[in-house]
Amino acid sequence: MNKINIAGAGLAGLSAAISIAEAGFSCNLISLQPSERAQSVLAEGGINAALNTMGEGDTPEEHFQDTMKGGAFLADPNAVEGLAYTAPEIIEKLLTIGTPFQMDGKGVVLRNFGGQKKKRTVYAKSSTGKVIMTALIDEGRKYESSGRITRYPHHQVLEILSEDRICRGLKILDTYTDEVQYLSGPVIIACGGLNGFFPEFTTGTVANTGDLAAELFSEGVEFANLEFIQYHPTTVAIPGKRMLISEAARGEGGRLFIERSGKKWYFMEELYPELGNLMPRDVISREMTRVLARDDCEGPVCLDMTGISKKTWEKKLSDLREEIREYLSIDPAKEPVSVYPGIHFFMGGIRVDEGHKTSMENLFAAGECACQYHGANRLGGNSMLGAIYGGRIAAQSAMKLEHENYEEKTSYHISAEEKQDFYVSPKSAAELKGILADSLGIIRNGDDLNKGIERIDNLLKDNNLTAMEKKRILLGKAMILSALAREESRGAHFREDYPEADEAYRKTTVSRMGDGIEIYFRDIPERRESHEIQN
Amino acid sequence: MKYRIDIERYSPEKKSYIESFYYETDSETETVANALAFLNAKSNLKNADGQDAEPIGWECGCMQKKCGACAMVVNGRPALACDSRLSRCGKVIRLSPLKKFPVVRDLIVDRSVMFENLKTIKLYFEDNADFGEETAGIAYEASRCLQCGCCLEVCPNFIAGGTFTGMASAVPVTRLFAELPAEKIKELSKLYNKHIFEGCGKSLACRNICPAKIDIEKMLVNSNAAAVWKRVFRHQEGVKKWKNQDLK
C-alpha cells in the first residue's frame, strides 16, 4: 500500500508514526517545524493512568468514570474506555523507551490532578510533555534510520487531495524552497488545536494556526463540538501570549483566593469543600469570573503557592518556579501570583469515530485537532494520553485499508499568486479573534452569539479576503453557530440564558460545510458491555 | 524606549543586506520575539529610513523558551529571541542568523544537520531502556535539550557536516548512557568517542549558553565517565556502585 501520510509531528503524529513503523508499515511525517518545536513539549503537569502505585486502590474503570463525568457525558464511552484501560500500558511503553518519569524506590510516583479524587497523574516535574516528546522523538529516529518513517521537515500541508469524497493524499509545500509536492495515500491529520483563531489569548504555540483545519472544513469534512473551549483558570499574560501555571501547582497545594472585605477568601475551598482547588477547570474558571464580578470582592484572583514545602518545590516544581521568576519577576514560594483564565484546549475539532476515522474516507485525525475522549471538558492529564492513544488508534485504522496505488503528480515551484491563497494577514487573524473572543468567552449568551454571527457575516463581505482568510472565518462562524445551537450549559460551554444542562442536548454538535454551514446534533453511542462487567 | 533593530537579511533574490527597523516600547519584559512579531503584524512594514520593507523571516513557536525555534544571534551572542529582553539588549540591537547553518531567508537557517547528526550517533534504543530512581534525574536533565543550536554556534570545533557532532548531540546522548543496560553501552561508547569525545576541544565555550540552562559540563562529565572511563551509572554486580552525586 502507499505510505500513510501524517500531517503534524507532535505527540499524536509521532505516536501514529511509531505505531505504523512498529507494525512494519511505512509513513511520511510532515511538519512545518521539527517535533522538538511542537506544542506537545509545552505540556507540563502530567499524563493520567490508573497505575495504582500509591496504594489508593485506583482502577481504569474509575479513570473511565472520571473522564466521562469531567466531559459531562458527551464523550464516546467506548473510545474513553479504550483510553482509560490502555493508559497503564502506554505508561509502561513510555518507560521502556526511557521516559524519565518521577520515581521513588518503589516505582513511578503519581500526583493529584483536577477532577480526580485519586492520585493518577504520572509526571516529570513540570516538563512532562518535553520528556515524553524527547523519548518518542528518539524512538521515531530508530525508524527514520531504517526508512520506515520519512520526515518532511519544514513542509506545510496546503490541501488534501480528494476524489468523490475519498482522501487520496496531500499537497505539501517546502517552505524553504517553495517547491510543491504531492504525496499519495491515506492521511492522518495531527495538526493540533485552533490556537491561531485566538492569537495571544492561548497558552499554546503560535505555530498552530488552525489553517489546515479551516481547509478541511471547507472541503466538507465534518467538525464536532466546536463550542467547547477550555479556559484554564491559572494563566498569566506575558508579552505575545498567555503562560500556563500548571495544574500541578494546585495538585501540590496551591490555593486560589480573592480579597473580600479586605481579607483573603479561599473561595474554591468554601464553595466546593470536597475537591476545592482541584475542581475541573471549567468550574474554577467560571467561579473566578463570578467572584471577580462581585461588589464585595476586589480582584485579581491570586494563586497562593506559599504553603508548598521547600522539598516539593525542589523535587517537583523547580522548573515552574524558575519560569514564574523569569517571566513575572516573582518568587511564587514567597508571594501569590495574580492569575486569570486563558484558552488552553479545544475539546472540539474534526469529528472522528472510535477508530479515529473522519467523515471523509481514508482520512483520519488524532490529537487536539480531533474531537475525541474529552467531551464537554477535558481533565488535566488526559490530553497527552489522548494524543498518544488516538495517534495509535488512527494508525491502526489506516493500516487496515486495502492496497491501492495512486498516481503521483510531478512537483512544481509555487507561484506568488497561489501562495497568496494560503496567506493569512495578521489583521485578518486579529479581526476574527476579536469576534470569537467576544462571543465565546467563559460565560456566553444568545445575544452576544448572534452579534458575533452578524459581525462575522460583515467580515465575509470583504472582497479582498484571501482564500485561506475566508475559510478561517467560515470555521470561526461554525464555532459560534455551534455555541448558539446548544441551548444549555454543559462542561466548558456555559450559557447564562440557559444555565442548566438539558438531557436533550446530551449529543454531539456537528458542523459541516454544505451549501452553507449546517449544524446538527448526533447521538452519542451507548457503552458496550465489556470491562464494566469484568470489574 | 525606542530601539533600533539592525537585521542581517538575506534572500536568494536580494542576497545579503542589513536593514534597520524602529520599535518602541516601555515594557521591561518584552523580548526580541515580541518586537519581530509586532513588526511583521504591520500591514505596510517600513524600515528605519521610511521605505517599504518585506516581512522579516524568522521561526517562532512557543514564545516561552521551550521549543528552540527562534534561535538567532542577538548582539553577537546566540540566544532565543523569546529569551532576549529588549531592556537588556541596549538601544541598538543587532540580529543575525546562526552562522553554523545554511541561511534560508533572513533569520531562518536550515538546522537539518543537527537532526542528521542524531541519527549518526544512533540516538535511540535498539532494545528497552533500563533505569530507576537513581538515574531518572540525569535522564530528565538530558531530555530537556531544545535542539536550538545555540551551543553549536559558539563551539570552536563544530562545523556542519564534520565528524564532531557537538553538544547538541552530547547532551541528549547522556540520557541513553543513563538508561542503557550496562552491557549495551559498548557500541554507543564507540560512536560517542568518535563523534563527541575526540572532537571536543574542551574549550567549554558552550558553557552558560544553553537557553534551557542545562548544565552542559555535568552532562559531558557523565557521558565521558560512561563512554570513555567505563564507569557505569548504576549498580552492577562486580562493579563499584557509582552515583551521579559523586560528581556534584
Q: Examine the pLDDT at B244 and tell me if it is beyond 50.
A: no
Q: Pick the range with the lowest mean pLDDT from A105-109, A141-145, A250-254, A467-471.
A: A105-109
Query: What is residue A363's DSSP assignment?
Result: E
Q: Examine the pLDDT at A193 and tell me if it is beyond 70.
A: yes
Q: Tell me which chain B residue has its CA closest to the CA of residue A100.
A: B136
Q: Pick the range with the lowest mean pLDDT from A298-302, A317-321, A379-383, B108-112.
A: A317-321
pLDDT tens digits for range A147-180: 999 999 999 999 999 999 999 999 999 999 999 9
DSSP letters, A14-45, are HHHHHHHHHTT--EEEE-SS-GGGSGGGG--S
CATH classification at residue A432: 1.20.58.100
- Same domain as B154, residue B45: no
Question: Of B48, B77, B109, which residue is a domain's last?
Answer: B109
pLDDT tens digits for range A504-522: 999 999 999 999 999 999 9
- Same domain as B24, residue B72: yes
Question: How far is B6 from B51, CA to CA, in rounded Å?
Answer: 15
Query: What is residue A266's DSSP assignment?
Result: -
- Cell numbers representing residue A468 in the block: 485561506
- Same domain as B33, residue B17: yes
Average pLDDT of B164-191?
Answer: 93
- Same domain as B132, residue B40: no
Give the pLDDT of residue B14.
83
Give the pLDDT of residue B232.
63
Handedness of CA A45, A198, A377, A507 (dihedral sign): negative
Is residue A319 within 8 A of residue A126, CB to CB? The reply is yes
Question: How far is A32 from B4, CA to CA, in rounded Å?
Answer: 30
Give the pLDDT of residue B246.
37
pLDDT tens digits for range A416-469: 999 999 999 999 999 999 999 999 999 999 999 999 999 999 999 999 999 999
Stated as kind and residue range, the H or E segment containing B192 is helix B185-192
Is residue A483 within 8 A of residue A449, CB to CB? The reply is yes
Q: Binning pLDDT at 50, 70 and 90, where does residue B234 land?
A: low
What residues contact A298, with CB distance under 8 A and at least 6 apart?
A258, A259, A260
Round to the nearest angstrom and report the end-to-end CA distance of chain A. 40
Inter-chain touch A427–B63, beta carbons under 8 Å: no
Number of structural domains found in chain A: 2
CATH classification at residue A295: 3.90.700.10
Number of structural domains found in chain B: 2
Is residue B193 within 8 A of residue B169, CB to CB? The reply is no
- Same domain as B189, residue B209: yes
Distance from CA of A498 to the nearest CA of B (A): 37
Distance from CA of B177 to the nearest CA of A (A): 11
Q: Is the CB of residue A241 less than 8 Å away from at least one CB of chain B?
A: yes
Catalytic site residue from A281, A351, A378, A490: A281
Q: Tell me which chain B residue has its CA closest to the CA of residue A429.
A: B41
Please, what is the average pLDDT of chain A? 94
Query: Residue B243's domain spans which residues?
Result: 112-247
Question: Of A326, A341, A356, which residue is a domain's last?
Answer: A341
Inter-chain touch B68–A103, beta carbons under 8 Å: no
Inter-chain touch A130–B144, beta carbons under 8 Å: yes
Question: How far is B95 from B89, CA to CA, in rounded Å?
Answer: 11
Question: Of B109, B138, B161, which residue is a domain's last?
Answer: B109
Q: Examine the pLDDT at A357 and tell me if it is beyond 60.
A: yes
Q: Residue B201: how many CB atoms within 10 A of its CB?
A: 11
Q: Is residue A162 part of a domain?
A: no
Show the 3-state SS of A190-219.
CCCCCHHHCCCCECCCCCCCCHHHHHHHHC
- Same domain as B96, residue B45: yes
Query: Which of A8, A78, A29, A85 is CA-nearest to residue A349?
Result: A8
Is residue A463 within 8 A of residue A208, CB to CB? The reply is no
Inter-chain touch A238–B179, beta carbons under 8 Å: no
Q: Is residue A476 part of a domain?
A: yes
- Same domain as B127, residue B237: yes
- Alpha-helical runs (H) found in A329-466: 383-399, 416-421, 426-439, 446-460
Residue A260, SS3 per DSSP: strand
- Cell numbers representing residue A35 in the block: 517535533
Question: How far is A200 from A242, CA to CA, in rounded Å?
Answer: 6
Q: Is residue A284 part of a domain?
A: yes
Give the pLDDT of residue A1.
66
The predicted model scores a pTM of 0.95
pLDDT tens digits for range B106-149: 999 999 999 999 999 999 999 999 888 888 889 999 999 999 99
DSSP letters, A43-81, are --S-EE-----SSS---HHHHHHHHHHHTTT-S-HHHHH
| Residue with grid cell 509531528, as numbered in its chain | A9
A104 CB neighbours in chain B (<8 A) are: 133
Q: Is residue A480 part of a domain?
A: yes
Count how many residues are written for chain B.
248
Q: Examine the pLDDT at A535 and tell me if it is beyond 60.
A: no
Note which residues in 136-195 of chain A have CB less than 8 A from chain B: 138-139, 141-142, 144-145, 153-154, 176
Give the pLDDT of residue B233.
58
Instruction: Using CB atoms, pick whichever of B34, B105, B118 lies closest to residue A240.
Output: B34
Question: How far is A457 from A364, CA to CA, in rounded Å?
Answer: 31
- Same domain as B241, residue B119: yes
Is residue A497 within 8 A of residue A462, CB to CB? The reply is no
Question: How far is A22 from A505, CA to CA, in rounded Å?
Answer: 41
As a 3-state breakdown, chain A gives helix, strand, coil percent values, each rounded to 5, of: 40, 25, 40
Query: What interhelical angle do B216-227 and B185-192 show, nearest 10?
Result: 120
- Alpha carbon A472 to chain centroid, angstroms: 18
Give the pLDDT of residue A326.
85
Between B32 and A529, the more confident residue is B32
Find the angle CA(B37)-CA(B39)-CA(B43) to the nearest 5 degrees: 110
Query: Which of B130, B66, B195 is CA-nearest to residue A204?
Result: B66
Please, what is the average pLDDT of chain B? 91
Distance from CA of A263 to the nearest CA of B (A): 31
Q: Could you tell me the CA-to-CA distances from A273 to A72, A91, A267, A282 in Å, in that order? A: 20, 32, 10, 17
Q: Examine the pLDDT at B245 and tell me if it is beyond 60.
A: no
Question: How far is A448 from A366, CA to CA, in rounded Å?
Answer: 32
CATH classification at residue B239: 1.10.1060.10
Beta bridge partners, A238, equal A241
Beta pairing class for A297-304 and A263-265: unpaired
Note which residues in 91-120 of chain A have CB less than 8 A from chain B: 95-105
Average pLDDT of B12-29?
Answer: 93
- Same domain as A428, residue A337: no
- Same domain as B60, residue B154: no
B122 CB neighbours in chain A (<8 A) are: 145
Q: Is the CB of residue A423 less than 8 Å away from at least one CB of chain B?
A: no
Distance from CA of A526 to the nearest CA of B (A): 39
Give the pLDDT of residue A4.
97
Q: Binning pLDDT at 50, 70 and 90, where does residue B12 land?
A: confident
Is residue A16 within 8 A of residue A392, CB to CB? The reply is yes
Q: Examine the pLDDT at A224 and tell me if it is beyond 80.
A: yes
Residue B115, SS3 per DSSP: helix
- Alpha carbon B103 to chain centroid, angstroms: 16
- Same domain as A430, residue A333: no
What residues contact B109, with CB distance under 8 A and at least 6 apart?
B97, B98, B101, B102, B103, B149
Count how many residues are written for chain A.
535
- Same domain as B227, residue B190: yes
- Same domain as B153, residue B227: yes
Question: Of B87, B109, B131, which residue is a domain's last?
Answer: B109
pLDDT tens digits for range A278-303: 998 889 999 999 999 999 999 899 99
A327 CB neighbours in chain B (<8 A) are: 29, 64
Give the pLDDT of residue B243.
37
pLDDT tens digits for range A31-81: 999 999 999 999 988 999 999 888 899 999 999 999 999 999 999 999 999
CATH classification at residue B59: 3.10.20.30
Q: Pick the range with the lowest mean pLDDT from A484-498, B53-67, B172-186.
A: B172-186
Strand order across the beta sheet in which A149-152 lies: A149-152, A27-30, A4-7, A187-189, A363-365
**What is the identity of the amino acid at A467?**
A
DSSP letters, A394-418, are HHHHHHTSPP---PPPPPEEPPHHH
Say what percent of chain B tops pLDDT 90.
80
Question: How far is A267 from A305, CA to CA, in rounded Å?
Answer: 15
Average pLDDT of A234-239?
Answer: 91
Question: How far is A64 from A384, CA to CA, in rounded Å?
Answer: 16
Q: Examine the pLDDT at A129 and tell me if it is beyond 50.
A: yes
Query: Residue A307's domain spans which residues?
Result: 233-341
Catalytic residue at A281? Answer: yes
Q: Is the CB of residue A262 less than 8 Å away from at least one CB of chain B?
A: no
Give the pLDDT of residue B238.
38
Average pLDDT of B29-50?
Answer: 94
Q: What is the ipTM of this complex?
A: 0.93
Q: Examine the pLDDT at B61 and tell me if it is beyond 50.
A: yes
What's the half-sphere exposure (Cβ side, CA atoms, 13 Å) at B180? 23
